[in-house]
Amino acid sequence: MIKIAVDAMGGDSAPEITVIGAMNAIKKFKDIELTLYGNKYEIHKYLTHQERINVVHTLESIQMDEKEAIKRMRRDTKSSMAMAMYSVKNGDNEAFVTAGPTGPFVAGAHLIIRRIKGMKRTALTPIFPTVKGHCLFMDVGANIELKAEHLLQYAQSGTIYSREILGVENPKVALLNNGEEKGKGRDLEKDAYKLLESYPNLNFIGNLESKFLFSGDADVMVTDGFTGNAVMKASEGALKAFSSILKQEIKQSFTAKMGALIMKKNLKNVIKKFDAGEVGGAILLGVKAPVIKAHGSSDSYAFTSAIGQARSIVSKEVVKKISNVLESE
């Protein structure tokens, strides 16, 4: 059995969504066992069956608007997030999933679970849908200031993840930049380009602009956390705006409504393809165990996907494979 720790109290709609998502995961995956950390009185309002589900009680939890992430994770070892992470550190569970706030999630992973030996910076890594499949986008906020060698490690770990979990045989790695020509960008991008280009075991395709993030030209896109976070939020906003505009246009005329009705299945497929809930959450690559951050507004389907993502990472031994590469250098 693959044992996964779940922060049942993390997220905008916890514990209802997290508990329902956990029960659905148990039905979907026959080889997992879940431990829910949180207020047992609240959890049992929604927990209708406990097959392969354990509950560890705590009244403390990390709020979504937590401002002092590092202090909180150091001080509050009895919160549902911290207790779940400690269970992974101690070997009681093999992976961790939460829809709680990003700051404490990243801080806790560093303080409690710790980085892989040789990994100099972790990368908060969401999986972006593209017209051809999916693209790992590294980093979206774990580290604002990076060096070229850190981006090389991102490329190495991202390549392993893409190959093992997304099934890409020879993942294409790109460096996010303000132009495609060699020599573009800041000193960080220029130095990183030289490292990525010279590394023998990477399928490095050069610089790509952010407009190509959804094109499918790259399977792994690397950048610093400040740039990545800005691009991610702009992309999320653009997709939401496009969806709103499309709905408004459909309502404008009878012809548009009929066209939408005819294309209902196609529109649903498009929406599904670009739904982050289909692939789970963002993984913090570079720590000693799989830790998954689902979106705070995740529904139960998305949270189930995040649990499934953690299961796949454990079963494919992704962390061990990343560790082997880094320790061999």
| pLDDT tens digits along 225-272 | 898 888 888 877 777 776 677 677 677 776 656 665 666 666 566 555
Residue type at position 62: I
DSSP string, 269-329: HHHHHT-GGGT--EEEETBSS-EEE--TT--HHHHHHHHHHHHHHHHTTHHHHHHHHHHT-
**In angstroms, how far is CA 113 from the centroid of its own chain?**
17
Lowest mean pLDDT among 120-129, 160-169, 255-264, 303-312: 255-264
Q: How is the beta sheet containing 282-285 ordered, strand by strand?
A: 53-57, 32-38, 2-7, 95-98, 291-293, 282-285, 123-125
User: How does the average pLDDT of the chain come out, rounded?
Assistant: 89
Largest pairwise CA distance in the chain? 64
Q: What is the pLDDT of residue 41?
A: 97
Q: Give CA–CA dist 9/82, Å, rounded.
A: 11
Angle at 41 between CA 37 and CA 42, to 5 degrees: 75
Going along the chain from its start, the domains and CATH numbers come out as 1-119+286-329 (3.40.718.10), 121-276 (3.40.718.10)
Q: What are the residues whose beta carbons fall under 8 Å from the beta carbon of 237, sequence distance 6 or more?
A: none
Token pair belonging to 274 = 């670009």
Q: What is the pLDDT of residues 62-90, one digit of tens each?
A: 888 777 777 878 888 899 999 999 999 99
Q: What is the pLDDT of residue 256?
A: 58
User: Three-class SS of residue 207?
Assistant: strand
Q: What is the pLDDT of residue 203?
A: 97
Token pair belonging to 318 = 């992704």
Cβ atoms < 10 Å from Cβ of 31: 10
Q: Residue 122: which pLDDT band, with cuts at 50, 70 and 90?
A: very high
Q: What is the pLDDT of residues 164-204, one digit of tens each?
A: 999 999 999 999 999 888 889 899 999 999 999 999 889 99
Q: What is the pLDDT of residue 279?
A: 67
Give me the half-sphere count of Cα atoms (radius 13 Å) on the Cβ side of residue 297. Answer: 2
Q: Give CA–CA dist 10/117, Å, rounded.
A: 29
Angle at 150 between CA 149 and CA 153, to 5 degrees: 90
Q: What is the pLDDT of residues 41-68, one digit of tens each?
A: 999 999 998 999 999 999 999 888 777 7
Q: What is the pLDDT of residue 297?
A: 87
